[in-house]
Structures are given as structure tokens and as C-alpha cells.
Amino acid sequence: MAIIVQKFGGTSVKSPENRRAALGHIAKAKNMGYDVVVVVSAMGRMGDPYATDTLIDLLKTEAGGEVSPKKKDLIMACGEIISTAVMASYIESQGFKTEAMTGFQAGILTTADFGNAEIIKVDPKPIKEKLREGNIVVVAGFQGQTEKGEITTLGRGGSDTSAAALGGYLEAELVEIYTDVPGIAVTDPRIVPEAPFISKISYDEVIAMADNGAKVIHPRAVKAAKKFNTPLKVKSTFEEDGGTIIGPAESDLTISGIPLQRNLVEAKFSRADKYNDKETEKLLKLSCDGSVYLDSAGASIVLIDSEQEKSAKILAEELKSNVEFYHDIAKVSVVYKSTVDSRMLNKEITELFLENNIPVVIHQSLNNCSKFIINDKDATKAVDIIFHRYF
């Protein structure tokens, strides 16, 4: 029988009403004859009792600030396990046979990068066996285990990656990502409410959006789906139809995304000699957007989260570099079609920023995406003016 994987995010599993809406999609797929695998995130957001941030806070309070990454993963993984037990029990109460599994029981093997582990492979046998018995299988997202049996988590938004990887290894017909918006919009609808939703878009376009901060889907999820050539659909839990289908075909848009990343720190590494390939690799690993920017004076600029300042200082010592930090930084990017003249586009946007008194620290174009580093206070205005210039 064909398999479908359905992932439900934090808001979708947060309350009894929302779980009922989720069940509607699960029951529909099951009644259509699919074998259904449900992947769930932790319930709710910051402040909700079992949300990821609440669990981290609990640990931080006890640990007096510094928390070991391994123990942090242990407590974070609980959020999805609670959600799995709750969701599976609810689905069962509605007359379906279910099996509830942690990520480890579901055969998800990862690297030992606690807090940001990568999936190495998935053993499809445990889930397939439970599907064969007629169960709807509910799996805890965002988690896996190392070869040694240590519990890991996959980084913020990692449940999307759990779903895409399970879809790939189970040879699913479709992976559906259910969330609180009706698909992928050109830009975050919280910033530009009139931003249109896109019905069809390519893996590469969404990878560029997600790598540059569009948090609607985790970049590794899209990369996994591309590797297995599994179609992904992003849609709203609270609507029957609609949604964005992500596959090999490009969207019909010249500019398909304006992602924004906020609250960043600019780490400026400088030393007399250039960095060799191995050293650049280390700078790339530190960066939160997979880029190293060069400023006019030849310094290497890496964008990081504020929590990474300590790691940046350690790396600077290792590289015998000077490092300076600049706070309250944001980055707005423009994802464009391969046929677009990026030089023209950059010129237009630079002029637009100038007209609107938005200083640009630096900009760079890479892989059909132009990135502009600006001050965080200008972030939403920057998105808004770019959107209204092209739409």
C-alpha cells in the first residue's frame, strides 16, 4: 500500500481543538487507503507546559545557566515524546489502531552533534512492520540516536527533517507538512500579510529560502526530500485544501522568496593572511547561513546567533585571528530565477535601500540568492519595500 507521511507542528498539536483538526487529515488519508505515518512536534510554544523552550528553561534554572548539550538534548526530546503519546492515544480513542514510537524506536540514526545532529540513515523495518499490522504509526519528530544509543535532537524545526527522512527511507508517495499557514508565501505573512502563497515551487528555490531564514520549513527537510525525490507539501492544518507542492519543477515567479533572518550577530574575523580551505570550512561551520562574506578591507564576516559568541572566540584563537562582534544585525535575501541578471537586481535593491535610508553593511550573491546584511531595526521595512517593488 502507498505510504503517506504527515507532520504536524507545535500549534497543530497544542490543544484538543487543534488535534481534532489534525485528526481530520489523518483520518482522510487512512480512509483513502494510505498507510499513514504521523510525525509530531512538541506541543505549543514558549510558555506552554511541554513546549521545547519551557523544557530548556527548566534545565537552565537547575543548572544555573550553562547546560551540557547532551543533557539539553535529553530534556528537549521529551517534548516530542509527550506529544506522540498524547496524539496516538487521541487517534486511538477515535477508532483507529495506532502505534506510538520515539525517534530511536523508529530507527533514526544520527551523528553525535548534540543539538544539531544530522540523520545518517533510517531503518524502515520497525515502522513498516507496524504499518503492516494496520496501525497508524505516530513518531516523535526532532530526535534520533547515535550509534552508541545516545539521544540527539536535530536542531530547531528538525521535525520537518524527521518527516522528510522517514518519507525517503519508507519510499512514501508524499510527505505533508501541516502548519499554521496555508503553504509557503513569497515572504513571511506575519511581516507582509498580503504576500501571495505559492502553489508550486522547486526544491532548490525552497532550500535557498530556508537556508536564509524562512522558518516555514527546515532546510535539511527540503534537502532530504530532494535527495530521495519525494514530493513535499506544506499546508494548513486548519484548512481542507490549498498548500504548496515542492518538487523538481521551478515556480512561475521571477522572484520567489524574500526570507529574513533577525537578531543575528556579525562576527568579523581579521588577520594578515588569507584563510585556507580548511580554515574557511571552519568559518562556514560556525555561520548560521552557510556563508562567509568578505568586506572591502578583506576581513571575513560570519553571521552567528548570540549563543555562539563563545565558539567564535575559541575559533578566532585557533585561527590566530582578531574577532569583533556587532550586534542587532539582520539579513534580508532575495531568491530569484536562474534567468535573472543578478547584477541588475542587486543594483536595483541597493538603490531602493539608499532611497529609504537603510544602510547595507555588505551584500553578496550566491546560488540564485542575493543577501543583504542590514541593521535589525530596518529588518521589516526592508522586506516590505522589496516586496512592494516586485509584487
Which residues of the chain form contacts with ligand ADP (CB under 6 A)? 9-11, 41, 157, 179-181, 184-185, 187-190, 214-216
Q: Is the dihedral of CA 68, 70, 76, 78 positive or negative?
A: negative
Provide the b/e sequence for 362-385 (b: ≥16 CB within 10 Å). Answer: ebbeeebbbbbbbbeebbbbbbbb
- Which CB, 39 or 208, lies closer to Mg ion? 39
- Which CB, 157 or 259, lies closer to Mg ion? 157
In the list ligand ADP, Mg ion, none, the entry touching 187 (Cβ below 5 to 8 angstroms by class) is ligand ADP
CA-wise closest residue to 267 among 313, 223, 314 = 313
Least distance in Å: CB of 219 to Mg ion?
Answer: 11
- Which CB, 45 or 128, lies closer to Mg ion? 45
Q: Which residues bind Mg ion (CB under 5 A)?
A: 157
CA distance 48 to 42: 10
DSSP labels, 34-67:
-EEEEEE--SSSTTSTTSHHHHHHHHHHHHTS--
Least distance in Å: CB of 42 to Mg ion?
Answer: 11
In the list Mg ion, ligand ADP, none, the entry touching 279 (Cβ below 5 to 8 angstroms by class) is none
- Which CB, 236 or 300, lies closer to Mg ion? 236
- Please check whether residue 200 is in contact with residue 30, taking contact to mean a CB–CB distance below 8 angstroms: no
In the complex, which residue's CB is closest to ligand ADP? 9
Cα 198 to Cα 57, 333, 348, distances in angstroms: 37, 18, 24
Hey, what's the cell of 190? Answer: 506575519
Cα 199 to Cα 13, 145, 213, 245, distances in angstroms: 25, 35, 20, 6
In the complex, which residue's CB is closest to Mg ion? 157
In the list Mg ion, ligand ADP, none, the entry touching 180 (Cβ below 5 to 8 angstroms by class) is ligand ADP
- Which CB, 151 or 185, lies closer to ligand ADP? 185
- Which CB, 223 or 282, lies closer to ligand ADP? 223
Backbone angles phi, psi at 152, to 5 degrees: -125, 160
Single-letter residue type at 102:
T
In the list Mg ion, ligand ADP, none, the entry touching 223 (Cβ below 5 to 8 angstroms by class) is none
In the list ligand ADP, Mg ion, none, the entry touching 42 (Cβ below 5 to 8 angstroms by class) is none
Least distance in Å: CB of 123 to ligand ADP?
Answer: 25
Least distance in Å: CB of 253 to ligand ADP?
Answer: 12
CA distance 208 to 334: 9
In the list ligand ADP, Mg ion, none, the entry touching 237 (Cβ below 5 to 8 angstroms by class) is none
In the list Mg ion, ligand ADP, none, the entry touching 152 (Cβ below 5 to 8 angstroms by class) is none
CA distance 224 to 163: 10
In the list ligand ADP, Mg ion, none, the entry touching 188 (Cβ below 5 to 8 angstroms by class) is ligand ADP
CB atoms within 10 A of CB 73: 23
Least distance in Å: CB of 156 to ligand ADP?
Answer: 8
Pairing of strands 119-122, 35-40: unpaired
Least distance in Å: CB of 8 to ligand ADP?
Answer: 7
Least distance in Å: CB of 210 to ligand ADP?
Answer: 9
Least distance in Å: CB of 94 to ligand ADP?
Answer: 22
- Please check whether residue 321 is in contact with residue 333, taking contact to mean a CB–CB distance below 8 angstroms: no
Hey, what's the cell of 371? Answer: 543577501
- Which CB, 184 or 292, lies closer to ligand ADP? 184
- Which CB, 234 or 312, lies closer to ligand ADP? 234
